[in-house]
């Protein structure tokens, strides 16, 4: 396993399968294929427990059995998650297959206990980047198959527990994975409170797996494929090309001399950034009319990524050219639009190709926000048949994971809402993790993993920029 488990004691390892199911085969669309060998998405949810429930006996005798039985009930609605991605020699494309008679199928679940200080692990202030890694389960992938999801439930004696979830990006995007976790939490509550044997899901949590509704009007699949090949060749030049290989590329976590931290932008902070950015629109631009407003997503990305680029440049002067890639949900943008509960990948990548030095300029947040705004506007008007070009050589590309629209702090399995939610996998690249603030007041939490020296500069720039007029 790639993660450090030195502070973890494994109590049990088992597989959970749907309560009742038949064999299912689910195709992968061109939206899915793009992520076929991309690193998995790793999230951890931290929950505190009151004193009466923080004893190990409650965890092992009540909490774990309830999570296990409700997971099995949930997988009945989401059978592909208990399967594997396979690519038989007689198939031109890979697909997801769940076979209830195959002992290798099912969701891998680890029950563990951590010796880490719970209150330290959930702190927002910078700490060793490796700490959260021990709470995340490994996702198996080989040349011939790839698991879809694995889970680790970890007890912190006298404090609480965490649920670490690792998901294969080729099977589900962030919206879909959050939908699954919400469905699991909903059914867990039902199991605890009503003891129903077969509770039903809310309609909005019922997944739609119909791949026929995803059309390919302008041979987008080919554009995706060409782009994947170009991207993987650049990133992994030593990997032998094997079209049928399903092994995930080695995006190793950057943990040495790295810190993980969470920074908050309040509603007031976002308003301040927005006014500052909009006030520069007429000064810098004569062609585009100033937008009435800018989304919290644009403002957060532009502000945070410019602070990161400037901090990196301050520490390593030679690193000065940056770009940014983000994804947009296409469910409502397809023609015709597809239902909100479509389960799979339905996101399109957009590259913010400002001038490479724009991220480290004094007005970087304006330049990046403007480019993001224009790219999204262009996509909404013209569709997404034109694929974004790859960044130029020597440009360091930053990314974003998560969304302030997922509502992860609302996910209550029956023992209260999360104390903290982290996207652990941001340590596999130069990526920020976004979640809507826990307080529900319209703010956003920004997770970052940076070199220790860069983190010092980033923290200073981030906080200084919010205090200045």
Percentage above 70 pLDDT, the chain: 90
Mean predicted confidence (pLDDT) in 306-335: 94
pLDDT digits (tens, 9 = 90+) for 163-186: 999 999 999 999 999 999 999 999
CB 43 within 8 A of CB 149: no
Candidate from 103-117, 204-218, 305-319 with smallest mean pLDDT: 204-218
Q: What mean pLDDT do residues 241-268 have?
A: 91
CATH class of the domain defined by 258-467: alpha beta
SS3 string of the chain?
Answer: CCCCCCCEEEEEEEEECCCCCCCEEEECCHHHHCCCCCCCEEEEEEEECCHHHCCHHHHHHHHHHHHHHHHHHHHCCCHHHHCEEECCCCCCCCEEEECCCCCCCCEEEEEEEECCCHHHHCCCCCEECCHHHHHCCCCCECCCEEECEEEEEEEECCCEEEEEEEECCCCCCHHHHHHHHHHHHHHHHHHHHHCCCCCCCCHHHCCECCHHHCCCCCCHHHHHHHHHHHHHHHHCCCCCCCCCCCCCCCCCCCCCCEEEEEEEECHHHHHHHHHHHHHCHHHHCCCCCCCCCCCHHHHHHHHHHHHHHHHHHHHCCCCCCEEEEEEEECCCCCCCCCCCCECCCCEEEEEECCCCCHHHCCCHHHHHHHHHHHHHHHHHHHCCCCCCCCCCCCCEEEEEEEECCCCHHHCCCCCCCCCEEEEHHHHHCCEEEEEECCCCCCCEEEEEEEEHHHHHHHHHHHHHHHHCC
What is the pLDDT of the chain when averaged over all its residues? 91
The confidence score (pLDDT) of residue 266 equals 97
- 313 assigned to active site: no
**Fold (CATH) for 8-218:** Chloramphenicol Acetyltransferase (3.30.559)
Query: Catalytic residue at 169?
Result: yes
User: Quick one: pLDDT at residue 248?
Assistant: 94
Q: What is the pLDDT of residue 285?
A: 64
State residue 122's pLDDT score.
97
pLDDT in tens, 381-406: 876 655 555 666 789 999 999 999 99
The pLDDT tens digits of the residues spanning 369-385 come to: 999 999 999 888 876 65
pTM for this prediction: 0.95
User: Of residues 102, 329, 363, 412, which has the active-site annotation?
Assistant: 412
User: For the residues 422-428, what does the mean pLDDT come to?
Assistant: 98
pLDDT of 3 reads 40
- Of 39, 77, 169, 457, catalytic: 169
pLDDT tens track for 336-368: 899 999 999 999 888 898 898 999 999 999 999
Residue 127 exposed, middle or buried by CB count within 10 Å (0-12, 13-18, 19+): middle
User: Per-residue pLDDT averaged across 328-339, rounded?
Assistant: 91
pLDDT band at 313 (very low <50, low <70, confident <90, very high): very high
Q: Where in the chain is the domain with CATH 3.30.559.10?
A: 8-218, 258-467
């Amino acid at each position: 396993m790639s993660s450090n488990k030195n502070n973890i004691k494994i109590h049990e390892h088992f597989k959970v399968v749907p309560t009742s199911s038949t064999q299912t085969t689910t195709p992968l669309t061109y939206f899915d294929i793009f992520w076929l060998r991309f690193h998995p998405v790793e999230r951890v949810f931290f929950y505190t427990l009151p004193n009466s429930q923080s004893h190990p006996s409650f965890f092992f005798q009540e909490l774990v059995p309830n999570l296990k039985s409700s997971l099995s009930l949930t997988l009945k609605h989401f059978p592909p998650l208990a399967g594997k991605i396979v690519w038989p020699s007689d198939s031109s494309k890979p697909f997801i297959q769940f076979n209830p008679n195959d002992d290798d199928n099912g969701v891998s679940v680890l029950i563990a206990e951590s010796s880490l200080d719970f209150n330290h692990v959930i702190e927002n202030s910078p700490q060793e980047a490796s700490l959260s890694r021990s709470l995340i389960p490994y996702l198996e992938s080989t040349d011939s198959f790839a698991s879809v999801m694995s889970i680790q439930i970890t007890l912190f004696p006298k404090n609480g527990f965490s649920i670490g979830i690792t998901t294969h990006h080729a099977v589900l995007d962030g919206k879909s994975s959050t939908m699954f976790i919400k469905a699991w939490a909903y059914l867990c509550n039902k199991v605890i409170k009503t003891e129903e044997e077969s509770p039903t899901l809310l309609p909005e949590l019922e997944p739609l797996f119909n791949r026929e509704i995803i059309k390919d009007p302008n041979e987008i699949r080919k554009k995706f494929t060409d782009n994947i090949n170009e991207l993987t060749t650049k990133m992994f030049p030593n990997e032998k090309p094997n079209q049928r290989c399903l092994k995930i590329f080695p995006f190793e976590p950057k943990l040495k001399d790295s810190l993980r931290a969470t920074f908050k932008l309040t509603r007031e902070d976002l308003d301040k950034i927005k006014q500052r950015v909009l006030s520069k629109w007429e000064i810098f631009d004569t062609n585009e009319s100033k937008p009435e407003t800018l989304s919290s997503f644009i403002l957060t990305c532009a502000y945070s990524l410019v602070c990161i680029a400037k901090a990196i440049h301050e520490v390593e002067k030679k690193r000065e050219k940056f770009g940014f890639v983000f994804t947009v949900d296409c469910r409502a943008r397809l023609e015709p639009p597809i239902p909100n509960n479509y389960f799979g990948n339905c996101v399109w990548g957009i590259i913010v190709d400002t001038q490479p030095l724009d991220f480290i300029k004094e007005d970087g947040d304006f330049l990046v926000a403007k480019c993001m705004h224009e790219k999204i506007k262009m996509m909404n008007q013209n569709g997404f048949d034109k694929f974004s070009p790859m960044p130029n050589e020597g440009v360091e590309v930053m990314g974003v994971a998560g969304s302030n629209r997922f509502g992860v702090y609302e996910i209550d399995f029956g023992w209260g809402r999360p104390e903290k939610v982290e996207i652990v996998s941001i340590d596999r690249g130069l990526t920020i993790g976004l979640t809507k603030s826990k307080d529900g007041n319209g703010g956003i939490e920004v997770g970052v993993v940076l070199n220790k020296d860069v983190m010092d500069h980033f923290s200073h720039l981030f906080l200084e920029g919010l205090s200045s007029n």
